[in-house]
Amino acid sequence: MPAAYEQYLAPVVFQPFAEDLSARAAALHPGRVLELAAGTGVLTSAMLAAVPSAEVTATDLNEAMVAFGSTRAPGAVWRQADAQRLPFPDGGFDLVLCQFGVMFFPDRIEAFTEVRRVLAQGGRFLFNTWGPLGVHSFEVALQAGLERAFPVDPPRFLPTVPHGYADPAVVAADLAAAGFVVEDEQELTLQGRAASIVDLATGYLTGTPVRAAVEERGDLPAVLATVIEEMTTRLGPGPVTAPMTAYVFRAAA
């Protein structure tokens, strides 16, 4: 999964937002940075380039992602870590970053409380989360393909997890419950540029948890063919450019 994620999805879906988030982080002039849910290191690499003087510690719950990310962004210190039980002392960082990871935390208030614990007084928590599924054109087309392949019981990973934390008021309330003060909240739409719909569909169906949901229900190659056909009907074969909307939060400890 990490290799497929990195090859097919990172440049199209995640790199544009990593460049935005790292630029916002650089404006804060951090010295000690902790990244949560770092995945294959898309944001990590951008952060190392944007703030080369910072000490960056990158973490992920998935050991395979940590192993892969440490080769992609060796300038960071990589550790396997659960965001709800961070293995770091109080006040050890002045910035915590997370790109499209907070949606995966089982207990977000608990995770945010941990983030606040490891931040120094006045430290910042900077992260983004996807907007509703309907404002991410690639994934609207992908979900339509899955529903065509499985009209009775389609995989619901996309609307319920990546796009399942899409109410900014709920996010802000969770941050406040963890003791944060929300300093800034922005809606941000960036363009994803995919050279090929085949590659994009392959990335989603082999490089994300959608894969397990598909394999539980049917034959992956056959489903991939159906999804490619539906996405091509909606978006064209590629190259294709499509909008993706997220929310960006900056909160102070």
pLDDT, tens digit, 9 for 90 and up, residues 230-244: 999 999 998 999 999
pLDDT digits (tens, 9 = 90+) for 173-190: 999 999 999 999 999 999
Rounded mean pLDDT, 204-228:
95
* Chain segment 77-118, per-residue pLDDT in tens: 999 999 999 999 999 999 999 999 999 999 999 999 999 999
DSSP-assigned states of every residue in 102-157: GGG-SSHHHHHHHHHHHEEEEEEEEEEEE--GGGBHHHHHHHHHHHHH-SSS---H
**Section 161-166 average pLDDT:** 97
**Cα 137 to the chain's mean position, in Å?**
16
Q: Which helix (H) or strand (E) holds 36?
A: strand 32-36
Indicate if the pLDDT at residue 58 is higher than 80.
yes
pTM for the model: 0.94
Q: What per-residue confidence (pLDDT) applies to 1?
A: 75
Q: Which domains, ranges and CATH numbers included, belong to the chain?
A: 1-131+166-192+245-253 (3.40.50.150), 133-164+196-237 (no CATH)
- pLDDT at position 172, please? 98
